[in-house]
Amino acid sequence: MSDVVGHLIGGKLVVNAHDRSQAVFNPATAVESRLVSLASTTTVEDAISAAQTAFPAWRNTSPANRARIMFRFKELLHTNADKICQLIGQEHGKIVHDAAGELQRGIENVEYACYAPELLKGEHSKNVGPNIDAWSEMQALGVVAGITPFNFPVMVPLWMYPMAIVCGNCFVLKPSERDPSAALFVAKLLQEAGLPDGVMNVVNGDKEAVDTLLNDARVQAVSFVGSTPIAKHIYASATANGKRCQALGGAKNHAIIMPDADMDNAVSQLVGAAYGSSGERCMALSVVVAVGDEAADNFVVKMSEQMQSLKVGEATDANNDFGPLITRQHKDKVVEHINSAERDGAVVVVDGRDISIDGYEQGFFVGGTLIDHVTASMTCYQEEIFGPVLLVVRAESMQQAMDIIDAHEYGNGTCIFTRDGEAARFFSDNINVGMVGINVPLPVPVASHSFGGWKNSLFGDLSAYGPDAVRFYTRRKTVTQRWPSTDVREGVEFSMPTMK
């Protein structure tokens, strides 16, 4: 154990003596690598105060100057990419190539935020009435907060604070306490890019820190990504306290495989979508719904063959496909889901429960697992597993497959593999899911579009990043203005004013 991960408050790294702490582990070795300071209410309030103090000057900084800082920040992210990926690997276990992909998707959101002068222009109408002009402005909210999960310690925070900051807000980030170092390191790069002290703050912590952010009246909006039970709590608490809130929850993402699908292509696509990042993605493809037994049997055979070449191991070896799960407790949970599927009558075709990695025998590893003959009544199907486990459900028709997907409580992402354009269009038009792929297993929108599911996968009216982020982190003010002529004086009117 070499150091303590603290907080970034008002431009300074802080470790307060009254804060609690907990261990951070390398999940590949199960060895404690450092401690993380868990912010007390006082520490979080200090961060909010720093943001509140910085807000007036930052709000009045031009969008162009805000964007210039983001341009410099983007270059620093590229320059420090190896260090960032190393930190992700040490604390999350994500393989270096996967960490690089995570960082790149985050950088794309920084690039979109650089477009702030265009995104914040507002609207203008001249002479809407006699000598009357009207316009709208996109004004900053003030202090806003982000609460982010362990599975994307860099990318998900970059969904939030670059756009919040270029819109003129000041930010308090509460990253996951399980892998805090990468988020803190990246925040320091933003400061190095020229961001004024207090505009960006990071507080590491647990429920005490979260509750402080939710209850402090100075925090105007909260963004959250995590599990559905916590998302519901965040949304209910934030809105009850008068805050704007977007809370992204869990997922159970399905892929329909039609009888006419290019099966080899589908298998190649789905093996990465199901097992990449150990399945610890909210967009992980966790259920295949095969239409017809012939398609299902063919898929299971080909997927089983493809899985034989999966390489599981520690983060620094780029030849590995995926790494460990985040904690021993989460590993045990994933294994129990596999056990329950077997008890409920499903068939474990490829079993990753007893995997052992040479030199990393104590790590939190679960190998790629494929389970066939799963039904909608099984616990393994109903709940989000968040591990390298792919379930196969069999359907008799495309409509039955769609009904299975629509009946699930989650509506985050889905896809269909088919050569039939009519079927693909019908699917995308009618499926009750927020993000849809056509022969694309991970339909994660690019940075210029917004990310968000339906049903119990998203609480709030606006999705993450993209155009919705501009709307979420600003509020519209409409101004109607007239400068009366000195030569003409109008009389008193008591009727409702109209644009004559």
Q: Are residues 264 and 407 in the same domain?
A: yes
Phi, psi of 264 (to 5 degrees): -60, -45
Q: Are residues 120 and 224 in the same domain?
A: yes
Q: Is 470 helix (H, G, I), strand (E, B) or coil?
A: helix
- 495 has pLDDT over 90: no
Domain that holds residue 399: 253-438
Give CA separation, 433 vs 241, 401, 410, 475, in Å: 29, 13, 8, 28
Which range has the worst mean pLDDT, 124-133, 199-208, 328-337? 124-133
Tokens 């992402």: give the residue. Answer: 413
Between CA 100 and CA 111, with CA 106 as vertex, the angle to 5 degrees is: 120
CB-neighbour burial class of residue 445 (10 A; exposed 0-12, middle 13-18, buried 19+)? middle
Q: Where are the beta strands (DSSP E) in 167-283?
A: 170-174, 200-202, 219-225, 244-248, 253-257
Task: Let me know if residue 496 belongs to a domain.
Answer: no
Q: Are residues 264 and 116 in the same domain?
A: no
Buried b / exposed e across 447-467, counting CB within 10 Å, b at 16+? Answer: beebbbbebbbbbbebbbbbe
Q: Is 199 in contact with 170 (CB distance < 8 Å)? A: yes
User: Smallest Cα–Cα separation from 310: which of 390, 197, 401, 408?
Assistant: 390
Give residues with Cβ within 8 angstroms of 477, minimum separation 6.
136, 137, 139
Tokens 């889901």: give the residue. Answer: 337
Encode pLDDT of 53-95 as tens digits: 999 999 999 999 999 999 999 999 999 999 999 999 999 999 9
Question: 233: which 2 tokens?
Answer: 């709590």
Which range has the worst mean pLDDT, 117-131, 256-270, 319-333? 117-131
Check which CATH number belongs to the domain holding 178 and give it: 3.40.605.10
Q: How many CA atoms lie within 13 A of 473 on its CB side?
A: 30
Task: Let me know if residue 260 belongs to a domain.
Answer: yes
Task: Let me know if residue 107 belongs to a domain.
Answer: yes
Q: Chain centroid to CA 66: how far?
A: 24
Alpha carbons 435 and 415: distance in angstroms, whole number: 8
- 499 has pLDDT over 80: no
Confidence of residue 492 (pLDDT cuts 50, 70, 90): confident
Confidence of residue 483 (pLDDT cuts 50, 70, 90): confident
User: Smallest Cα–Cα separation from 289: which of 441, 167, 154?
Assistant: 441
- Name residue 481's beta-bridge partners: 133
Alpha carbons 406 and 456: distance in angstroms, whole number: 12
Q: Where are the beta strands (DSSP E) in 310-350?
A: 347-350
- 362 has pLDDT over 70: yes
Q: Is 387 in contact with 329 (CB distance < 8 Å)? A: no
282 flagged as catalytic: yes
Alpha carbons 128 and 348: distance in angstroms, whole number: 68
Q: Are residues 68 and 159 in the same domain?
A: yes
Amino acid at 438: I
Q: Chain centroid to CA 251: how far?
A: 12
Alpha carbons 315 and 23: distance in angstroms, whole number: 20
Task: Let me know if residue 264 belongs to a domain.
Answer: yes
Give residues with Cβ within 8 angstroms of 264, minimum separation 6.
302
Over range 186-212, report the average pLDDT: 98
Alpha carbons 265 and 7: distance in angstroms, whole number: 46
Q: What is the pLDDT of residue 498?
A: 78
Task: Let me know if residue 446 belongs to a domain.
Answer: no
Encode pLDDT of 319-330 as tens digits: 999 999 999 999
Q: What is the pLDDT of residue 1?
A: 41
Alpha carbons 307 and 301: distance in angstroms, whole number: 10
Task: Let me know if residue 484 belongs to a domain.
Answer: no
Q: Are residues 132 and 225 in the same domain?
A: yes
Q: Are residues 301 and 236 in the same domain?
A: no
Give residues with Cβ within 8 angstroms of 150, minimum separation 6.
92, 176, 178, 179, 280, 326
Q: Are residues 330 and 348 in the same domain?
A: yes
Q: Is 348 in contact with 367 (CB distance < 8 Å)? A: no
Q: Is the pTM of this model over 0.75?
A: yes
Amino acid at 184: L
Count of structural domains, the chain: 2
- 8 has pLDDT over 50: yes
Alpha carbons 295 and 13: distance in angstroms, whole number: 56
- 212 has pLDDT over 90: yes
Q: Are residues 402 and 468 in the same domain?
A: no
Confidence of residue 500 (pLDDT cuts 50, 70, 90): low
- Catalytic residue of the set 245, 282, 380, 415: 282
Question: Strand order of the sheet with strand 123-129?
Answer: 123-129, 132-140, 474-482
Q: What is the pLDDT of residue 2?
A: 57
Q: Are residues 40 and 105 in the same domain?
A: yes
Encode pLDDT of 370-416 as tens digits: 999 999 999 999 999 999 999 999 999 999 999 999 999 999 999 99
Share the mean pLDDT of the chain.
Answer: 96
Q: Are residues 337 and 369 in the same domain?
A: yes
Task: Let me know if residue 450 belongs to a domain.
Answer: no
Check which CATH number belongs to the domain holding 333 and give it: 3.40.309.10
Q: Are residues 413 and 265 in the same domain?
A: yes
Give residues with Cβ within 8 angstroms of 500, minimum separation 6.
129, 130
User: Smallest Cα–Cα separation from 186: which of 280, 68, 107, 248?
Assistant: 107
Question: 23: which 2 tokens?
Answer: 């261990």
Task: Let me know if residue 93 belongs to a domain.
Answer: yes
Q: Are residues 303 and 417 in the same domain?
A: yes
CB-neighbour burial class of residue 290 (10 A; exposed 0-12, middle 13-18, buried 19+)? buried
CB atoms within 10 A of CB 149: 21
Q: What is the pLDDT of residue 493?
A: 80
Confidence of residue 484 (pLDDT cuts 50, 70, 90): confident
Q: What is the pLDDT of residue 487?
A: 72
